[in-house]
Amino acid sequence: MIQLVTDRLRLRAFQLEDAEPMFDYAKDERVGPKAGWAPHQSVDETRDVIRLFQQDQDVWAITLKETGEVIGSLGLHDRRPDPEIQHDRQREIGYVLSPTYWGKGYIPEAVREVMRHGFEDLGLERIWCGHFDFNDQSRRVVEKTGFTYAFTTPQQLTRLDGRTVQSLIYVVTKETYEERLAQR
């Protein structure tokens, strides 16, 4: 997995040694439920999740460049939310961040770099991002990073409590991304 670097962050592959710092935020009830999963109950559970990340190779550990501390995760998943355009080269971004670091602009910074990587290095045609209707923090990230609302779909939170919520889906196309770069 390629390492990505921003002004303040380093996005790198997860290591099993990251289980303790990841568990520190994954057990927090303010984190997982906003992403549709239950808080982690043990460091062993977190290690199992890291093993999945390592197997799929589509989730980066978000670390502070200065200290190397793991503060969150960001995935660029091979998911295609719109069944009408399954043939396009596309991925979906998903992210979580330790509450200790909320409000500092780290996720928008990481998302922008992964968008750059997706469009410029991977040749993607579109990148999706979604959030549940109750997740205002993710909505703000979507707004700050230039995604455009595409559609809403019901989603059952099977990994959390089984309830059905609305999932708002947003997209950025390569064309829109390039137009915004030219305007800078």
- Residue with the bigger pLDDT between 159 and 155: it is 155
Q: Is the pTM of this model over 0.75?
A: yes
pLDDT of the residue at 161: 75
pLDDT of the residue at 118: 97
Residue 56 gets the label, from left (phi > 0), alpha (psi -120 to 50) or beta, of alpha
pLDDT band at 159 (very low <50, low <70, confident <90, very high): low
Checking if the pLDDT of 35 tops 80, the result is: yes
User: Residue 165 and residue 154: Cα distance in Å, rounded?
Assistant: 6
Mean pLDDT for the chain overall: 94
Residue 136 gets the label, from left (phi > 0), alpha (psi -120 to 50) or beta, of alpha
- Cα torsion 113, 116, 121, 122: sign: positive
Count how many residues are written for the chain. Answer: 184
Checking if the pLDDT of 52 tops 90, the result is: yes
Average pLDDT over residues 54-67: 96
User: Residue 136 and residue 168: Cα distance in Å, rounded?
Assistant: 11
**Tokens (6 digits) for 2:** 């390629």
